[in-house]
Structure 1
Amino acid sequence: MTALTFEDARKGLASQPFSVLLGTRLASFGDGETTLELDIREDLLQQNGFLHGGVLAYAADNAITFAAGTTLGPAILTGGFSINYLRPAKGLRLLAQARVLHSGRSQATCRCDLSVLGQDGTVTLCAAAQGTAVSIVRP
């Protein structure tokens, strides 16, 4: 496998229409880790004024897959993931920071911490996820 660059990953994210719709940005990528970020907007909130859980789940899924891509390459899909919502997400920006816990030839297991950047500059953990990505390349 040829190592993916930050620019490769950025282009991959930009090729996802849903990610473009949400305005997701790649903040870091490489060495088994990635960080995605997106601005929290009113149209992404649920009825109580918190970031919708579906947006958090999307960010976890995508960050996990991008982190796995640092070890497995670009031809991968989500194998599954679970998420625990720890506290309501309210702030200016969502940060989805994922890292590879273990990677084999065809599957990687990753953890993702989802935090919000508040108005005062504090970063608050609001959800945690763990999942796998699987290679779709046949040996």
Structure 2
Amino acid sequence: MSEVLDLALARKVLAAQPFSNLLGTRLVAFGDGAATLELDIRDDLRQQHGFLHGGVLGYAADNALTFAAGTVAGARLITAGFTIDYLRPAEGVLLRAEARVVRAGRTRVVCRCDLSTVDGAGVETLCAVAQGTIAVTPPTEPPHAT
């Protein structure tokens, strides 16, 4: 399909995203149709009730879905759409987004993501699930010299 990515190259792709840097997102696993992102839950990422903001969960799902797709389709990807279901308020010290490919086609890759929080004792709690479709973008052609 496209160029093959490995964990080191995928981490460079993540590092090139200013918003991911702002959140302190880490790519901790990448390959074989799956990817895992983690970020520390900080007070400035919480909503008014003290839970992790749903927008942070949506961001993590979107990025994890796309990175999982990247394990089978390369780096020329863009999210076509995704849905997320919030199962319970996100509390803890760490957010983990684990995504995996459900089906990879030539132009679209469907993925699923489980979002869990980890508390100070290491207990993991599923707080949201997401499913998305990732579009494989065509290669761009260099401009023609005139």
TM-score of the aligned structures, taking structure 1 as reference length: 0.98
Q: Partner amino acid for 2:60? A: A
Unaligned stretches of 5+ residues in structure 2: 140-146
Q: What's the CA shift for 1:63?
A: 0.2
Does the 8 Å contact 1:72/1:107 carry over to 2? no
Deviations along 1:41-94, one digit per CA (max 9) or x if unpaired, are: 000000000000000000000000000011111010001000000000000100
Unaligned stretches of 5+ residues in structure 1: none
Matched with 1:44 is 45
How many residue pairs were aligned?
A: 139
Deviations along 1:75-128, one digit per CA (max 9) or x if unpaired, are: 100010000000000001000000000001111000000000011210000000
Aligned-residue sequence identity (percent) comes to 61
Does the 8 Å contact 1:90/1:116 carry over to 2? yes
Q: What's the CA shift for 1:2?
A: 2.9
Deviations along 1:12-54, one digit per CA (max 9) or x if unpaired, are: 0000000000000001000100000000000000000000000
Matched with 1:35 is 36
What secondary structure is seen at the aligned counterpart in 1 of 2:57? helix
Q: Partner amino acid for 2:73? A: L
Runs of 4+ in 1 over 4 A off after TM superposition: none
What secondary structure is seen at the aligned counterpart in 2 of 1:98? strand
Is 1:57 matched with 2:93?
no
CA distance in 2, matches of 1:62, 1:137: 20
TM-score of the aligned structures, taking structure 2 as reference length: 0.93
CA distance in 2, matches of 1:23, 1:137: 30
Q: Partner amino acid for 2:94? A: R
